[in-house]
Chain A
Amino acid sequence: MKSISLYVDRESFVHDVDPITKLIYILFAILVPIILPSFTVSFICVGISLLLILAAGVFRKTLPIFGFVFLVLITVVIIQGLFRPENETVLFQIGPFAMYQEGLHYALKITLRVVNIVGAFMILVLTTKPSHLVESLVRKGMSPRIGYVIVSVFQIIPEMMASMSTITDAQRSRGMETEGNLLVRIKAFLPLLGPVVLGSLINTKERAMALEVRGFNSRTPKTYLNVEKTYAYSKGIQALLLLLIVGAVAWRIFL
């Protein structure tokens, strides 16, 4: 079965770090450039994320995602460069359009922020199994019900995709045309949604009963299937990241 998670199974120290530390890293990468809005800080944060992505050996997987993000950001650059109200200094001219320095400056700031946030999330998403992340959160006190909901999304969506394709096959077998131009495809696609959704609702009901039978709602403390993976330095890294955030706040206030 296809998986919708982007997790890449590799060996690297980034993979070994526990999910909670990665979550704190995301917090760090988002907060610090906001607290200290200088380009240097943003560049450093983006640089750290990139290094970690390279170290984890998942750089190629980030390319399509960054590609998509840049597509969106280009429009930001163009619009801000041309039309930002504060625009004064013309930087260069493309035909009849003038690009302004202030707008581009602002667009660069936005771009760095977005790349930074996306990069930090990518480290978590590409190097952590969803179930592992949820398990860590449950260990930290998140309700197992919410954990289950999150994990099951990762199971149900590929299941729905698989059942979509069998249902499509069954209807093609009865002469429903699904190949051809866009209109044919859309006309074929819409009525298929009903059975797919209905099927997954039926599955959900059965899953709920199966869970109940195995005592999911019992109030005794739950045990875990996997032994907790601890990374030797995670406490140290977490402390360092938090310290840096506090340090950034202090820097901002006192200097």
Chain B
Amino acid sequence: MIKVSNLSFSYHKAEGPVLSGINLEFDRRSTAIIGQNGAGKTTFVKLLKGLLKPDEGDILIQNHSVKLKTAAELARTVGLVFQNPNDQIFKRTVLEEAMFGLLNIKMGRHTAENQAIKALKLVNLDDKLEMNPHDLSLSEKKLLCIASIVAMDPDIIILDEPTIAQDHAGKKIISQIIKELAEKEKLVMTIIHDMDFVAENFERTIVFNEGKVLLDGETRDVFAQKDILQEANVEAPGITQLAEKLGFEHTILTVEEFIKAVK
């Protein structure tokens, strides 16, 4: 679906590249992007979304080069939920906020409203349609932002730190949405620092470190590589580490797996 070849990018030439020599291919597997603060994760997804233009290399999305399209044209194909909901929230009511993107891609008002309400139901905000988004709590704002992108039904959905400020219920909603999108054959890509969430929800994991891809593979294989993870300053989930310290043979990702292995 996405093919990234030899991608390099810098904000200021003098400060050196933020990303360099990145080669990646994305299929429909749900993918987590992890790595330390400042590793270049957000920059990478902004490039995918056409918000930034590569210095070198190319990005092909469904065989079309991103360079030739504006971010707005890419909106039907790639949806990006921003890290900070306040950057995204824009309209006076929850419903209008969720409809904004749909109207931009020239959908009729009536259909747009239906799609938006459907997406808002997913995040349990359908009872707050007329509320001002700024009166929502931070976690609700974040969910609203996710809904407003999901409503647009793009083939590729990128979430930047969706679990920020989410309690258990919020995480469950997000996890459920990721599953449903995967069932619909969409590519879900998520930048995230919550390793338990990664282990439970993503098939593939990519580790960024100082602007390069350090590890890439099945989540289970990635979390097995303790030494390389350490180099990128990320830690495997607690349960994985516990199992490893107890001398389990296989890499454990979730509590359920752990219990099964013990029994």
Contact = CB atoms under 8 A, between A and B. Distances in A.
A and B held together in a complex: yes
Interface residues of B, number: 25
A195 B87 CA distance: 8
Contact of A174 (B70, B84, B149): B149
Interface of A: 163, 166-167, 169-179, 191, 194-195, 198-199, 202
A166 B82 contact: yes
B70 to A, nearest CB: 5
A173 B87 contact: no
Contact of A167 (B49, B90, B152): B90
Nearest to B82: A170
Contact of A172 (B71, B100, B152): B71
A169 B82 CA distance: 9
Given A172-B51, A174-B152, A175-B152, A167 B87 contact: yes
Contacts of A174: 75, 79, 88, 100-101, 104, 148-149, 152
Contact of A173 (B71, B84, B89): B71
Contacts of A167: 87-88, 90
Contact of B72 (A178, A198, A199): A178
Contacts of B79: 173-174
Given A167-B87, A167-B90, 6 more contacts: A169-B51, A170-B88, A173-B51, A174-B149, A175-B72, A175-B152
A177 B87 contact: no
B49 A175 contact: no
A175 B88 contact: no
A171 B89 CA distance: 9
Nearest to A198: B134
26 contacts: A166-B82, A166-B84, A166-B87, A169-B71, A170-B87, A170-B90, A171-B90, A172-B70, A172-B71, A172-B72, A173-B49, A173-B51, A173-B75, A174-B79, A174-B88, A174-B101, A174-B148, A174-B149, A175-B72, A175-B76, A175-B101, A176-B100, A177-B70, A179-B70, A179-B72, A195-B86
A124 B43 CA distance: 39
A175 B75 contact: yes
A194 B148 CA distance: 19
Contacts of A169: 46, 51, 71, 82, 87
A189 to B, nearest CB: 13
B206 interface: no
Tell me the interface secondary structure of chain A in the complex.
helix
A174 B101 CA distance: 5
B134 A163 contact: no
Contacts of A202: 86
Nearest to A188: B72
A195 to B, nearest CB: 6
A59 to B, nearest CB: 23
Contacts of A178: 72
B232 to A, nearest CB: 26
A191 B148 CA distance: 18
B105 interface: yes
Contacts of A173: 49, 51, 71, 75, 79-80, 82
Contacts of B72: 172, 175-179
A195 B82 CA distance: 15
A177 B72 CA distance: 5
B90 to A, nearest CB: 6
Contacts of B134: 198
Interface in B218-262: none
Interface in B57-81: 70-72, 75-76, 79-80
Nearest to B97: A174
